[in-house]
Structure 1
Amino acid sequence: MKKIGLLPRLIIAIILGILLGTVAPEWLVKIFVTFNNIFGNFLGFAIPLIIIGFVAPGIGDLGKGAGKLLGVTALIAYGSTIISGSLAYFTGTTVLPKVLHLSSLAVDAKNPEEALLAPFFKVEMPPIMGVMTALLIAFTLGLGMAVIEGDTMKKFLHEFQSIIEKLISNIIIPLLPIHILGIFANMTHAGEVAAIMSVFAKVFVMIIILHIAILIIQYFIAGTFFAGANPFKLFKTMLPAYFTAIGTQSSAATIPVTLKQAKQNGVDDGIAEFVIPLCATIHLSGSTITLTGCAMAVMMINGMETTFASMFPFILMLGVTMVAAPGVPGGAVMAALGLLQSMLGFSDTLTSLMIALYLAQDSFGTACNVTGDGAIAIIVNKISGKKLQPKENVSING
């Protein structure tokens, strides 16, 4: 099963869930619902740990680097992420009400007997702290490490981050297809799967178009205003990184290819070797588009309000919380679960739907992230006083 990628496993799980919900007896569906309840509670327990494990080391690592250049790169990356999320919001506000059946899934997740099957039993797994407490601890530790540049706490938190990465890659991600299967079996049994599948298809198309649009904007700015080069030629050179990321679903795993293509575009070797690895952890324009679009779709079909006043703070926090999300599929949505619950009011059921919707598009968000890193490298290259010097042949190791 490990040889099959996460996206194919997710698709298989959705199909099996729909079939199971259509033909299986109620007791069999309730077995999966019980598993979902246990898995969902475990996920809730893990969320504060995931936040601390991701955010604190990521912020702490920003203390190292090239001073002013580090700040400039981080500011550009964060600005790009916020603009991308805002673009997704305004597009979603215009497009989604026209293509989705609003409030078509407006069920009270606290009383699933009304529409969804309840589990045979529940196992409570209360988290050790609240989401906001975890965020505040992560910010405090991360900023503190960046200031004092101490090694002891940094080493501890990096080891803790490794534990959380193993938790996600070895337990949470492998069990997600079963979790998704149970969700769709329960939704189908309750007669609500048509609304969900409608959301999947329509949101997917909107988000892919937004990814392409933000990349064109990024390269138009980088090429026209900073490099004085053809933006479409610069974009075309970065396409190998885009398609590599679709396969790896990991910004970190794609770094060698992104670096090679950025250098081929003419970015100075030293600038590229600094900016590309840094942006692989802090530039998340594609993931932010995907998360914002998916969150709005889930909220709209559940009759929840999606005002700019509620969504913009969520977008601002996404840009920080997803910093240093691990190089595993689904890392960004795992880091964002706490925000979905604390800022947007997502229940366990809605969180599960969000995971399914996001993971179906995760590879394209990652591809947008890493391709955009090439545009930021071009901008930083110009700010550093260097000119693009395109190269024909660059080895993948630089």
Structure 2
Amino acid sequence: MPASLVFALMLPFLLESWAVPGLRVASYTFSLVLKELLILVLPFIVFSFISASIVRIGRGALFFTLVLVVCVFTSNLTAISMGYMVGVWTVPMLSLPLGGVECESHLASALYVSLPTLVTNSQALVMGLVVGLILNLGHHTRLKSLMFWMSDLSFFFLKRLFIPILPLFVLGFAFKLHSDGILHSALQIYGKVFILVIFTQLLWLLVLFLLAGSGSLRCCWQYIKNVFPATLTGLGTISSAASMSVLIVCSEKNTDEPVLIRSIIPTTINIHTVGSAIGLTILTLATMRTFGMALPPFSVFMGFAFYFALAKFSVVAVPGGVILIAGPLLQSLLGFSDDMLGLITAVYMIFDPFGTAINVTGNGAFAILMTRICQRWHIIRWKNDNGGSDNTTSRLQSRR
């Protein structure tokens, strides 16, 4: 799978001289249609995974949710602080251009498809949590069996239907990225900042995976290899939500708690975004430097960082969703003008494919760390058929 995804991302460059425009349009159209279908069924997948996982977790579900929220906030805030410490030291050394960044689209879909959104992912997440908590209050055997059946059906769709056509899904968006010249624009206009952002993001990912591997380079490398297909999916689709299914399958290889994985990743896929936390922070400092503003001291910036980490819980699941919720904070807390906001929005949208890939990969590391916390604090108490509890993985597997 990683090899086929890499080939899908590289194919537009290989076919640049002779690929007919119709092939690019057809491939991009197929990817857009498939993405619309995926977004349509994603709320069902989120609801089924969350509700079934909460039921399996048992009475510790409420405590698990509280711990998860605290860990997500702490991780985001730490990543923002990391971006500030690196940026405030290195950005003054860069020579940055004053002006805007343009990125014109050159590839359009042959078919416009916009399916209605019956239920949003956020609503499905809340409903899954509520239904799971309610079912844990009694012996609703049939309803619990229904939740397990829905979860198994969702997993079958992801594993047997969506994953096999994933390279074709990524290929259309790869043609789009290549036609729009996003990579070329990022390197040409803000190349130094781009390199700084990518280097810092990769460094932070290495720290997360080393923590997940308890300092073992061998475990760290194995974890990264397992998650790599999801990384490429995030890079190609520029969508964490579209990468969620791949990330779940990949992350289950890194832990022995598939139920927790199917609860953690759907919950955090859009709110735990260490890549955008680091990237937007460094871009903020670079934009302030471009417009001749003094970089804020740590005490002032941490006020913005705190509210930014809170605002991440309301991020819209669309490309560039982070900059949409961060814009008002940049203006009210750091004094950004309209021109500054326009510049950082344009540059962020160019960097967004790479930030999304880092977000997805970071969620893979976070899922491992969160699973370790749940195991160490004995948050997991799997219910057996007699209404009791058991903490062993073997009992969980026999129930599944």
2:376 to 363, 375, 378: 378
Quote the residue 1:77 is aligned against: 68
Query: Which residue of structure 2 lines up, in the alignment, with residue 207 of structure 1?
Result: 201
In structure 1, how many angstroms separate the alpha carbons of the residues matched to 2:253 and 2:305?
A: 38
Deviation at 1:52, TM superposition (A): 0.2
1:184 aligns with one of 164, 171, 178: 178
In structure 1, what is the equivalent of residue 55 of structure 2? 64
Which residue, 30, 45, 49 being the options, matches 2:36?
45
Please say if 1:289 is aligned against 2:274: yes
Q: Match for 2:264: what amino acid?
A: I
1:60 Cα offset (Å): 0.4
1:136 is displaced (CA, Å) by 1.9
339, 356, 377: which one aligns with 1:358: 356
Q: State yes or no: 1:244 paired with 2:229.
A: no
Superposition deviation, residue 340 in structure 1: 5.3
The Cα offsets for residues 313-372 of structure 1, whole Å up to 9 and x where unpaired, read as 553257xx9xxxxxxxxxxxxx77695598579999977963454337855652454256
Please report the RMSD computed on the Cα atoms of aligned residues, expressed in angstroms: 5.2
- What runs of 5+ residues in structure 2 fail to find an aligned partner? 228-246, 289-300, 328-343, 380-396
In the alignment of these two chains, the number of paired residues is: 319
1:223-282 residue CA offsets vs partner (Å, 9 max, x unmatched):
xxxxxxxxxxx923x6554322212115655556645xxxxxxxxxxxxx6xx8525741
* AA aligned opposite 1:85: N
CA distance in 1, matches of 2:209, 2:78: 12
Which residue does the alignment assign to 1:315? 312
Q: Are the equivalent residues in 2 in contact too, given 1:245–1:363 (CA < 8 A)?
A: no
Which residues of structure 1 form unaligned runs of 5+?
108-114, 220-233, 260-272, 322-334, 382-396
Q: 2:3 aligned with 1:4, yes or no? A: yes
Q: Write the letter of the residue equivalent to 1:119.
A: L
Deviation of 1:183 after TM superposition, in Å, equals 1.0
Change (3 A) 1:59 1:251: closer
CA distance in 2, matches of 1:215, 1:155: 33
Name the amino acid aligned to 1:144: V
Give per-residue Cα distances to partners, 1:110-157, cap 9 Å, x unaligned. xxxxx5243366421113117x74532453255235424514365346
Q: Give the alignment of 1:1-398 within 5 angstroms.
A: 2=1, 4=3, 6=5, 8-9=6-7, 12=10, 16=13, 20=16, 24=17, 34-35=25-26, 38=29, 41-42=32-33, 45-46=36-37, 48-93=39-84, 95-96=86-87, 99=91, 106-107=101-102, 115-119=103-107, 122-129=110-117, 133-148=120-135, 150=143, 151-152=145-146, 155-156=149-150, 158-160=152-154, 162-163=156-157, 168-187=162-181, 193-195=187-189, 201-213=195-207, 235-236=214-215, 240-249=218-227, 250=247, 253=250, 255=252, 258-259=255-256, 277-278=259-260, 281-282=263-264, 288-294=273-279, 308=305, 311-317=308-314, 354-359=352-357, 362-363=360-361, 366-367=364-365, 369-371=367-369, 373-380=371-378
Structure 1: which amino acid aligns with 2:115?
A: P
Scaled by the length of structure 2, the TM-score of the pair is 0.57
Give the residue type in structure 1 aligned to 2:36: F
- The percentage of aligned residue pairs carrying the same residue is 11
Contact kept, 8 Å, 2:76 with 2:274, in 1: the verdict is yes
Q: Residue deviations 1:25-54, cap 9 Å, x none?
A: 9xx696576457635643662464254034
Cα 1:42–1:202, aligned 2, differ >3 Å: closer, same or farther?
farther
